[in-house]
Each structure stands twice: as structure tokens, then as C-alpha cells.
Amino acid sequence: MSELFDSRKEFRPLADRMRPRSLEEFVGQQHLLAEGLPLRQAIEAGKLHSMVFWGPPGTGKTTLAKLISRYAEARFVSLSAVLAGVKEIREAITEARLAQDRDQQATALFIDEVHRLNKAQQDVFLPHVEDGTIYLLGATTENPSFELNNALLSRVRVYVLKMLEKEDLAQLLEWALADEERGAGARPATLEDDARDLMIQVADGDARVLLNLLEIGLDLAPEQEGKKVIDAAIMQQVAGQGTRRFDKGGEYFYDQISALHKSVRGSDPDAALYWLCRMLDGGCDPRYIARRVVRMASEDIGNAAPQALNLCLSAWQAYERLGSPEGELAIASAVAYLACSPKSNAVYTAYKAAMEQAKKSGTLEVPMHLRNAPTQLMKDLGYGKDYQYAHDHESGYVADEVYLPESLQGMSFYFPVDRGHEKAIGEWLQKIRESARRRSAN
């Protein structure tokens, strides 16, 4: 299997040349690969099973798949879900069956971007994973539970890989600079501390980005006394501004909007503003955030601060008129206001309860006294009869009037919290509900 790691070295990027050849060279993912853990033991014992590696780019998904097949002495066949169709998958399975019958050799079929397989393509794997014709090794940056069907998920083990820590990246840099065979060690070079720190920061947990930065830096760096010197100025040119992970429409996108929403709900304006800026910095459309902020006002603030909804709508409108970057400040003001507002989900809870009741109670008739009576016939049939107009009463409330269908009378859905403006609403509701109960008791 050495050809997987050593072929055409002179044409391969540094990031590819530096792929680990053993578990000892693998950087990071100690929550999976530390001594004594099940996955490490299985790999060292050469035991294959079908699995999917889920994690950010540059965390070792492809490398780990290659290492596993190497330790198991299995054929390693790689397909990209972006390029391969059902035909290519069937051909790979046929070859795997021949290898199994002829050479008694297992096949590790690696599918990069496995989340891009459609249902028909996923279904092709099922019987062959089941009977051991192939061991499916998949790599994805997307949540497998959303992208893979249940039948395929039940046949694989999902392993979650994490972004590399700064210490991991520093170790990788040290190895790459020292390795004379595969890395940059053949060219004497010095990496200044400021440049190293900047490189690790820009890499943002991605080993591939880190090694690409190093390779470009070595190409651009001037020689001083026969040695390449990469300083912060060179690395600034190579790195540009860098990009924080965001992945619009993917896992990072939904994780960050969830963090923003929960920070607002938790009354932490600092965290809320941080996640807002992370999303904006990553390229999120401010209009999307503005829509979600309006949702937050309705769901988590509600009638505890009823002016919050108008403020959020105004912030959205301000952005539409001003555009970026001026309009983003209006959204930030709305986010900070929501985070600092009294919270209530009483209307949200009441809405869900009322909707559930509406769905399960069927087509209950509107009480006769509440029905509209625009014609004489409808009046003759009793539509609107005995309806009491609330404004004709001194309190603006009719204590003995009923508004729910007969079978639901006495039910309540809305229970205001004892915070903000909703406290006053709760006191008013308690007063009129007690009045109604007294009237019904008499």
C-alpha cells in the first residue's frame, strides 16, 4: 500500500506528501485514537468495519481512511460522490467481489463527500456492506443524520472528528519543517514566531490550509545566508485576511445561528453580539439574520416587551435602506436589545398548545352567538343571537360570555409570565378569569 503515500512525490503538494504513514504520525483526534480506545485497538488489530468520518475540512478524514485500509492490508479504492454515479459504484463493487474471490482480500471503498450521494446511489451499497463485499469508508463535512438514509446509517459507524487544536498544528509545522524526505526539511528554512502564530491562526484548525500556507511561504520567502526565512510580513501576504469557518447552509451555519438565538434567549448580549459578528464575518446574508431576529422577538420576548418586535422590524428595514456595513449596526442594536429584554415564551407556548388542540379536536362548530349574521335568514336561524358587545360594559369585559366551542370551554392556553409588560397582562387576565369563574359558579 506504499503507493498510496509515496507516488509521484515531486508533483504532490506538501499537504499530500505529509500525510501520516502510521497512527504515531497522526496529529489530533485523540478522543478517538488515544491508546486503548476502541477505534485505535481495531485499527492496530487490522479489523475493518464500515464507518463514516464526519468533521471539518483538514482534520484527517481521508488520511484516517487510508491508514485503516493499510493496517488491515485491504485494497483501497477511492471514489468521489461528486463525480461517481451508480455505474462507477457498481463497477467498484464488482471488482471488490473479484478481489475477494481471487485473492481473499478485503476492499475498503472510500467515498469522499459521501453526503452528496443520492438515495439511489446509497441504496446500491446496502446489500454489499451487509454481506462484507466492501467495507464502506465515507468522509463528510455535513451531518450524516441529515444526509444519509436510515438504512445506510444503520450499517455504518459514525466517528466525529474535531478541528485541530493549536498545539496539534504547531506539532505538524515542526514535523513538516524538519522532514527532509517528504516535508520542507530539504530546504533549510526558519519560521519566525510571529509568522508561525499567524499561520496557525489563519489555518483555523485545518491541517491542509496550514501546510499550504507553509509551502507558499517557502516559495515566496527570500534567502538569508543560504536559508529561507519566513517572517510575519511574508505570511501576511500569503494569508490575506483569512476566513473563519461558516459554511453557509451547512453544519457550521446552523450551529452558529443556534448559538446566536440561545445567547439572546439566555440574556447574554456579549455572546449574542459575538455570534452575530461571527456570522457576518463569515459571509452570512444580514437579511437572513434580520429575519431570525424578528422570530426571536416573537418566540422568546413576546409580550414581556411587546415593543421588541417593532424594533426588530425597524432594524430589518434600516438594513434594507442602508445596506452594508452601516445597516448591520441596526441589526446589532436589535440583537443587544433582545438579549437585555425580559423574556417570555408564553405566547409561543400558548400558540403551540392551541394548534395541537385545533388539530386533534376536529371541526368543532362556532357557537351560534359568535357567528356572523349578514343576512336576515341567518338572523332568523339564530346566528349572532344573544351576543354581548364587550364595549357596552363598563369594564370592557363580559364575565359570563363564552368564546370557545362548547366541548373546549374552560380550557386555557395562555399563561403570562411574571416579567416585563406581561406581568400586567397576567394580572388583568387573572382578574377577568376569576370573575368568569365566579359567574359560572353562580
Cα angle for residues 251, 326, 295 (degrees, 5° grid): 45
Least confident among 55-59, 227-231, 326-330, 369-373: 227-231
Residue with cell 371541526: 363
pLDDT tens track for 415-437: 999 989 999 988 888 888 777 67
Helices (H) and strands (E) in the chain, counts: 21, 8
Over pLDDT 90: what percentage of the chain? Answer: 33
pLDDT tens track for 118-150: 888 888 888 888 888 888 899 998 888 888 888
Query: What confidence score (pLDDT) does residue 1 get?
Result: 43
pLDDT tens track for 35-51: 989 999 999 998 889 99
Cα angle for residues 359, 360, 362 (degrees, 5° grid): 80
Per-position DSSP letters for 201-252, written without gaps between them: HHHTT-HHHHHHHHHHHHHHPPEETTEEEE-HHHHHHHHTT------TTSHH
Cα separations (Å) of 171 from 143, 191, 210?
Answer: 29, 13, 11
- Residue 346 contacts residue 416 (beta carbons within 8 Å): yes
Kindly state the cell numbers that stand for 315. 432594524
Query: What confidence score (pLDDT) does residue 351 get?
Result: 93
Query: What confidence score (pLDDT) does residue 297 get?
Result: 96
pLDDT reading at 215 higher than 80: yes
Cα angle for residues 343, 344, 348 (degrees, 5° grid): 140
Query: What confidence score (pLDDT) does residue 11 get?
Result: 65
Alpha-carbon span 304 to 442, nearest angstrom: 34
Query: What confidence score (pLDDT) does residue 2 get?
Result: 45
Alpha-carbon span 260 to 289, nearest angstrom: 9
Query: What confidence score (pLDDT) does residue 287 get?
Result: 92
Alpha-carbon span 344 to 299, nearest angstrom: 8
Query: What confidence score (pLDDT) does residue 82 get?
Result: 80
Banded model confidence at residue 106, pLDDT cuts 50, 70, 90: confident
pLDDT tens track for 290-343: 999 999 999 999 999 999 999 999 999 999 999 888 899 999 999 999 999 999
Banded model confidence at residue 240, pLDDT cuts 50, 70, 90: low
pLDDT reading at 159 higher than 90: yes
pLDDT tens track for 355-414: 999 998 888 888 898 888 888 888 888 888 888 888 888 778 787 788 888 888 888 898
Q: Strands 135-140 and 107-112: what pairing? A: parallel
Alpha-carbon span 137 to 14, nearest angstrom: 24
Handedness of CA 176, 74, 64, 54 (dihedral sign): positive
Banded model confidence at residue 18, pLDDT cuts 50, 70, 90: confident
Handedness of CA 22, 28, 29, 32 (dihedral sign): positive
pLDDT averaged over the chain?
85
pLDDT tens track for 326-337: 899 999 999 999
Query: What confidence score (pLDDT) does residue 295 get?
Result: 95
C-alpha closest to that of 189 among 180, 181, 202, 199: 180
Phi and psi at residue 159, to the nearest 5° = -115, 130
pLDDT reading at 5 higher than 50: no
Query: What confidence score (pLDDT) does residue 245 get?
Result: 54
Query: What confidence score (pLDDT) does residue 320 get?
Result: 92
